[in-house]
Amino acid sequence: MVSVKYRQTVHITMTAPEQKVPLAVEWKDDHIVMLDQRMLPHDFVFENIHSVDKLAASITDMVVRGAPAIGIAAAYGMALAYVNGVDMDKAKEKLEASRPTAKDLFTAVDRIADVWTSGKDPVAAAIDYASEIEEACRTIGETGAELISKDMKILTHCNAGALATVYWGTALAPIRFAHYHGKKPYVFVDETRPRYQGARLTAWELRMEGIPNAIIVDNAAGHFMSRGEVDMVITGADRIAMNGDAANKIGTYEKAVVAHENGIPFYIAAPATTFDPTAESGDAIPIEERSQDEVLEWGGLRVGPEGAVARNPAFDVTPARYITGFITEKGVLKADEIKGVFGD
């Protein structure tokens, strides 16, 4: 059973009438309200955030996660710094250190810092930034839905839904719109170790909207692909280089290679804010390594033996040659079109 807990009273604002997932991050008057995604799908806990320090910790601890949602939170963080009279350069530095791979974080803080330098209102700019992501994700949904035929079975990894973007999602947006258009998509949801974003968040979002799905263990994707049960793979991305190499949740690379081996189209869905004009290839993308405890423990239970050591890269890079296309607000692009559209 789902219980609703509020640290302080807030209203739940739905992302859209048809979309039943609450806003992951919101600007309210003079502060940020954030849904604690670590508690989902069992508890709704909303945090009121009044300081840049607390926001940076919330991004690092994955209270909010998913590159575009992190970007929106960071834009609001710059607005918060402005409202609180905090040094904007220090705020920017602190936010940039909170999660290194998500390009959207850097896009957002740079945008608001530039607005502030030019003497305009950072709060209005942060709200505009969120609207821009909403519009981009809606377009990604409409555009990507055209690639989906009736009764298609689609595999996705991690959570690139509304929780990860605040609105619509990236990978889940085309699936949502295909569902709204009566195409009856079915989704294989990778559980996504070690934080279970697929099992906890993607399956929850899809269930809320009545989109049929099954959670599979990460290692089962190849099995279903080899048996012809998967028609298409769509994932999100945290950062995309100019040659089309794309960083996304650890395990994405393997899914892309197995999809390629089985002749299954593999798409990355992402807004302009995820493309990095300064990264020529995936070699330039910083990969976050997170705590060993995420691998060695789950839910307070020790999984590995005493003294065990773990490695925990949060992302991997899928080479462009395995990616069929990039679903963006500028259309479905091939790798060699990226620089022309999103380059400096």
| 122 vs 179 by CB, closer to ligand MRU | 179
Using Cβ positions, the residue closest to ligand MRU within the complex turns out to be: 236
The distance of closest approach from Cβ of residue 157 to ligand MRU in the complex, given in angstroms and rounded to an integer, is 7
- Local structure of residue 66 (DSSP, 8 states): S
Residue 202 contacts ligand MRU per CB under 6 A: no
Biggest CA pair distance of the chain: 59
Cβ-contact 34, 64 below 8 angstroms: yes
158 lies in the site for ligand MRU, by CB under 6 A: yes
67 forms part of the interface with ligand MRU (CB under 6 A): yes
Find out whether 163 and 205 touch, Cβ atoms under 8 Å: yes
Find the shortest distance in angstroms from Cβ 150 to ligand MRU: 25
CA torsion sign for 270, 276, 282, 286 is negative
Cβ closest to ligand MRU, residue 107 vs residue 248: 248
β partners of residue 153:
186
Site for ligand MRU contains 81 (CB under 6 A): no
Candidates 79-87, 106-114, 162-170, 212-220: pick the segment binding ligand MRU (CB under 6 A). 162-170
From 27-35, 63-71, 114-122, 293-301, give the range in contact with ligand MRU by CB under 6 A: 63-71
Q: Does 248 bind ligand MRU (CB under 6 A)?
A: yes
Min dist. Cβ of residue 175 to ligand MRU (A): 13
Give residues with Cβ within 8 angstroms of 197, minimum separation 6: 65, 158, 159, 249
Tokens 């296309």 belong to 325
Q: Which stretch binds ligand MRU (CB under 6 A): 46-54, 79-87, 159-167, 221-229?
A: 159-167
- Which residues are catalytically annotated? 238
Quick check: 113 binds ligand MRU (CB under 6 A)? no
Cα–Cα distance for residue pair 230/154, rounded to 1 Å: 6
Distance of closest approach, residue 227 Cβ to ligand MRU, in angstroms: 25
* Residue 160 makes contact with ligand MRU by CB under 6 A: yes
**Shortest Cβ 61–ligand MRU spacing (Å):** 11
| Stretch 179-198: interaction string toward ligand MRU, x if CB under 6 A | ------------------x-
Hey, what are 189's tokens?
């949801």
Q: Which of 170, 273, 324, 328 binds ligand MRU (CB under 6 A)?
A: 170
Distance between CA 312 and CA 160 in Å, rounded? Answer: 20
What whole-number distance in Å separates Cα of residue 103 and Cα of residue 193? Answer: 22
CA atoms of 125 and 109, how far apart (whole Å): 11
Task: Outline where 274-317 has alpha helix (H).
Answer: 293-296
Considering only residues 220 to 239 of the shown chain, the ones binding ligand MRU according to CB under 6 A are 235-238
Asked whether position 273 contacts ligand MRU by CB under 6 A, the answer is no
Strands (E), the chain: 3-6, 14-16, 19-22, 25-28, 31-35, 43-49, 153-156, 186-190, 213-216, 232-235, 239-240, 246-249, 266-269, 297-298, 301-302, 315-318, 325-328, 331-333
List the one residue from 56, 73, 148, 164 that touches ligand MRU (CB under 6 A).
164
- Residues binding ligand MRU: number (CB under 6 A): 17
The β-bridge relationship of strands 19-22 and 14-16 is antiparallel
**Residue reference for tokens 């462009």:** 320
Query: Binding of ligand MRU at residue 68 (CB under 6 A)?
Result: yes
Selected range binding ligand MRU among 2-10, 163-171, 203-211, 304-312, rule: CB under 6 A: 163-171
Q: Provide the binding-site residues for ligand MRU, judged by CB under 6 A.
A: 65-68, 158, 160, 164-165, 170, 197, 235-238, 248-249, 314
